[in-house]
Amino acid sequence: MTMSTWNDLEEYQPRVLKLLGNSFEKNRLAHAYLFEGKKGTGKKEVSLLLARSYFCEKPDGHKPCETCRNCKRIHSGNHPDLHLVEPDGLSIKKWQIQSLQEEFTKTGVESHKKLYIISHADKMTANAANSLLKFLEEPNADTMAILLTEQVHQMLNTILSRCQTLTFMPLPVSAIEKELLKQDVPANYARLAARMTNSSEKALELSRDDWFAQARLVVIKLYEVIFKRNGQAFVQVQTQWVPFFAEKEQQDMAFDLLLYVYKDILSIQIGNTDHVIYQDLLPQLEQHAIQVSRQKILEKITSILEAKKRLQMNVSPQLLMEQLVLSLQEG
């Protein structure tokens, strides 16, 4: 995620930023925060933003100036009073928390303030968590802790009770799409990849994956053959679809890719052309939208959703696709 200014992050996590902004304005920052939410929702970016606001020499209200020495040092990852703890291997060890505590017994190098961020806080060993607990129970006035986790249910209740928890919501599709476009992902891939996951990192990975580009083509080709009803759809399923989408996860994604084609036709029929995901197929889809009734498109969408459900019941993928093709060719 490249976003980092207050305004950028406000667009992605408005509730979290509003709460933090109000706390700054009223001088009521908590001594310990727990940021919890799925991967790719901006927890680390917001923790570093909060750190810049905390240490900024000339803030604009609650927003960091981004240009003073402190802001620049946090950006470059070398501010002496900001400490980031990450798992050493698979876990955060007791010695990591103890060395953090030792650091905090010293006076702040730049000011009296100190701030530490513990990434993947749920990966603390029991000993590390207990060491941290003592630390959280006796906070210094100018010390702030920010714990980050994707697995809040694995955190000790005693730690949770000493932190103010802020929940990071999955990113809106429009925000992920915008992020991908910023990263120079072509628009037709950005629109689709943004809808396949709620993490901008995963969406970026997907949009740059040759497999995904090929998957999109296999799905479009099958759709076109189904629409022509020239008897080639079953051959296509056997020779291209089944061999290409070999794993269950890939098959599930394939159904989503196909589903969006039919949803696009529905969007065109109800006058929402701007919502079309396969924008590069727009003239063709507009043509098809005239030829098929809205009721039929809704039935086809239902058929794909049913097939998606049945995929989880270990039905043969080829049999499932052949039944789906029959259903999609009707009407």
What is the secondary structure of 279-302 as a DSSP string? GGGHHHHHHHHHHS-HHHHHHHHH
Q: Quick one: CA dihedral 34, 40, 42, 47, positive or negative?
A: positive
Bridging pattern class, strands 143-149 and 164-168:
unpaired
pLDDT band (50, 70, 90) for residue 283: very high
The predicted structure's pLDDT at residue 110: 61
Across the chain, mean pLDDT equals: 91
147: which strand partners? 34, 118
CA–CA dist 125, 173 (Å, integer): 36
According to the model, what pLDDT value does residue 223 have?
Answer: 96
The class that CATH gives domain 209-329 is mainly alpha
Q: What is the pLDDT of residue 108?
A: 57
CB of 148 closer than 8 Å to CB of 35? yes
How far is residue 79 from each of residues 48, 53, 247, measured CA to CA in Å? 11, 13, 46
Mean pLDDT of 63-69: 93
Section 67-92 average pLDDT = 92
What does R_g of the chain's alpha carbons equal in angstroms?
A: 25
C-alpha to C-alpha distances, 240 to 35, 245, 257, nearest whole angstrom: 44, 8, 15
- pLDDT of 198: 78
Tens of pLDDT, residue by residue over 308-319, are: 999 988 788 899
At 86, give phi and psi (nearest 5°): -125, 160
CATH 3.40.50.300 corresponds to the domain 6-170: yes
Confidence of residue 144 (pLDDT cuts 50, 70, 90): very high
Residue ranges of domains in the chain: 6-170, 209-329
- The pLDDT tens digits for 215-244 are 999 999 999 999 987 788 999 999 999 999
Q: What is the pTM assigned to this prediction?
A: 0.70
According to the model, what pLDDT value does residue 164 have?
95
What pLDDT is attached to residue 111? 66
The Cα–Cα gap between 74 and 194 comes to 30
End-to-end CA distance of the chain: 44
Strand, helix or coil for residue 2? coil
What is the per-residue pLDDT for 9? 82
How many CA atoms, within 13 angstroms, populate the side-chain half-sphere of residue 261?
23
For residue 197, what pLDDT is reported?
87
Cβ-based neighbours of 186, under 8 Å, separated by 6 or more: none
pLDDT at 42 over 70: yes
Interatomic CA distance for residues 285 and 279, integer angstroms:
9
- What's the length of the chain? 331
Is residue 170 predicted with pLDDT exceeding 90?
Answer: no
What one-letter code names the amino acid at 17? L
